[in-house]
Structure 1
Amino acid sequence: MKNIDYKSGNKKTQANMKTVKSIVALLLVLIGFGAQAQQDPLFSQYTFNKLLVNPGYAGSRDGLNITVVNRAQWTGIEGAPKTLTVSAHTAGKNNRVGLGFYVNRDVLGPTANNSFMGTYSYKIIMENSFFAFGLQGGLNYFDYDYSQMNLRDEDYLFDPENIRKITPDVNFGLYYQTPTFFAGLSSKHLLENDYGIIMDNEKTSFNRLSRHFYLMSGMVWKLAENIRFRPSTLVKFVSGSPLQIDINGSFLFKNSFLIGASFRTEKALSVQTELALMEGIRMGYSYDVYFNKLQLYNYGSHEIRLAFDINIFEPRMVTPRYF
């Protein structure tokens, strides 16, 4: 066992402690700022994974849909966000009730936010279209693990406590869809409970989870017998944060291969593609590049998606299904 002279102190250790404290304080400020702005994970392939944005979408594909998304953001930056999401939803036998859930793990440096949300939706079915409203409820588990910090030199004086917090959460959404058009309005984090951490005069406290608002819309245009054009947009608003708009355009060939791009108002461009591997199984990929100050420090963002459509109600499944 090493003998440490705490009274006289080691100058190098004390200097390291001050440096580490400065880094921790800066990271906490950034996380606190994020808690006041956009706290939800970012996804470029939002048109294929609407359940995470709008609970009214549950059951819209008639059969059972299972989607897995893995996103690595700002590659090249140590501790950059990494997100893994698994979602599933299906319609009931009467095609009016939709049920689903999603599990999400979002990691940023030593912090991790884990979410589980169950979903219920109800459809009002009209001729060749439907209108639905949905409700999600679940828990967020926030974990700040100081042991995940990569310290260059071992520091015996820096021994902070880990921070963990469980928070209930509720989301609500309205969704409308025809065979060639969709639109949705939703709000997430209705309870605005405490979330994340901030540092104020060396005291740690929790910040409030801000309410998020989402407006989305998209359609399909037939350009030729086997070519479709799919424009869409997603508008995100959080109090205290700039309005964010995603504009997407993609081309679908023979309902089996898609390629497109989207522009985000935070000066980011995303190139996307999707391929039907076999009936009911699709794989998607997107690559984001940034044109802001971050472009000097990262190699872009990668997002991989795998989706399964399982026909559990044989007479009902409609092909093709664009949304």
Structure 2
Amino acid sequence: MRKPFYLIFLTFHVGFYLLISSTVSFGQQLTQYSQWSWHQFAQNPAHAGIKQCIDVHSLYRVQWLGFEGAPRSGFLTLSVPLNSRRRQFLSARHGLGLKFETDRIAQFSIQRFNVAYAAHFNFNQTDRLSLGLYAGFVQTGYDPSSITTGVPDPVLENQGSFFSPDATFGAWYNSKNFYVGLVLQNLIPNKWDNISTDSKNRFHAIINGGYLFALNDQYALLPTLQMKFAARGKTAIDLAAHIDYQNMFSLGLGIRNADALMAFAQVKIKGQFSIGYSFGYTISKIQLGAKNTHEVSIRFTTCKPDRKSITGCSLFD
């Protein structure tokens, strides 16, 4: 009786993403999401199949609302375990996943498609090390049709799109109450020769972590920290804290260094369907032209709510 519900929801999920991807399609080289702690697999391939169930996530981000040519981004991910039984010490469980991401800023657009594989090594019932890899391709496009120059520019006339390989490595360690992750992105430094001989994908590294505090039998506090390093770029630091009520509803506040203040809200329906929203208020100099950033996310999982812990709150939700 539950299969029709799953099929209906998955159809809606894909339809929602197709709708947003028709309006978005490069921004800051790699997109930065405020809701990263709710969608770990979107940036860390080590999360492929980490849960013993099917996990589907989608998100749409509108950055710097009101700013001409501002970034529009989104992703759709699917994660599944290959085998769910925990076996002997350090024996690996495996997971697979798919990710499609689209990003557009001004005349640039990027489409990423990746397949993920991850191996999960359990030290005991709560401690786990996961290693994963994204492999796929990137389609980079440039459309100068909205740019007018007095003298024809061969660079601007060299429009179109091209494909290049893409790879990301991820590592993850978690215990009952904390996690730490490492992500190495753009491992293949592809050049954009049809735009400029000096243009290429830059290496990025991400380190993040969180700790779960059980305040009582109903509420939990989850502070999180993420540092994102870009070659020849500014380091982005996200600091946030989420309050969770019985793993059904959560609110949070955060700050990104010298860039934005953030607020989060997420509600879960029947424990398997989640809707999330985040609001970003720009505090950098760009606020003179645009102030707000919005993210809306939808998630579906076949996992049952975790009621074994004191609060029922999961590190991964």
Aligned-pair RMSD on alpha carbons? 2.5
Letter aligned with residue 221 of structure 2: F
Residue 290 of structure 1 corresponds to 282
1:49 shift after superposition: 1.1
Alignment of 1:19-34 (within 5 A): none
Q: Paired residue for 1:24?
A: none
How many equivalent residue pairs? 277
SS at match of 1:207: coil
Decide which of 203, 217, 227 is 2:209's aligned counterpart. 217
Provide the C-alpha distance between the structure 2 equivalents of 1:150 and 1:241, rounded to a whole number of angstroms.
26
Q: Is the 8 A contact 1:68 1:86 kept in 2?
A: yes
| 1:321 corresponds to 2:314 | yes
Q: Following the alignment from structure 1 to structure 2, what is the Cα–Cα distance between the partners of residues 48 and 244? A: 18
Identical residues among aligned pairs (%): 23
Q: Residues 227 and 253 of structure 1 are in contact (CA less than 8 Å); yes or no, is this contact kept in structure 2?
A: yes
Secondary structure at the aligned position of 2:37 is classed as: helix
CA contact (8 A) 1:197 1:207 kept: no
CA distance in 2, matches of 1:97, 1:191: 25
Match of 1:106 among 79, 92, 103: 103
- Long gaps (5+) in structure 1: 1-30, 199-203
Q: Which residue of 2 aligns with 1:190?
A: 187
Alpha-carbon deviations, 1:130-184, whole Å to 9, x = none? 101101100000011223x277xx9997882413121101111111112321111
Correspondence list, 1:244-283, <5 A: 244-283=236-275
Structure 2 counterpart of 1:135: 133
SS in 1 for 2:253: strand
Residues 175-203 of structure 1, C-alpha deviation per residue, up to 9 Å, x if partnerless? 111232111112011111114876xxxxx
- Separation in 1, partners of 2:258, 2:120: 35
SS of structure 2 residue aligned to 1:208:
coil
Name the SS for the 1:209 alignment partner: coil
Secondary structure of the residue aligned to 2:41 is helix
SS at match of 2:215: strand
Which structure's relative contact order is higher, taking Cα pairs within 8 Å and 6+ residues apart?
A: 1
Deviation at 1:242, TM superposition (A): 2.2
TM-score normalised by structure 1 residue count: 0.79
Q: Retained in 2: the 8 A contact 1:144–1:162?
A: yes
Letter in 1 for 2:76: V
Q: What CA deviation, in whole Å up to 9, does each residue of 1:37-62 have, x standing for no partner?
A: x5110100000111122111111222
SS at match of 1:51: helix
8 A contact 1:97–1:123 mirrored in 2: yes
Alignment-derived partner of residue 53 in structure 2: 63
1:306 counterpart residue number: 298
CA contact (8 A) 1:248 1:263 kept: yes
Conserved? CA contact 1:61–1:321, under 8 Å:
no
> What is residue 170 of structure 1 aligned with on the other side?
167
TM-score under structure 2 length normalisation: 0.81
Choose 1 or 2 for highest CA Rg: 1
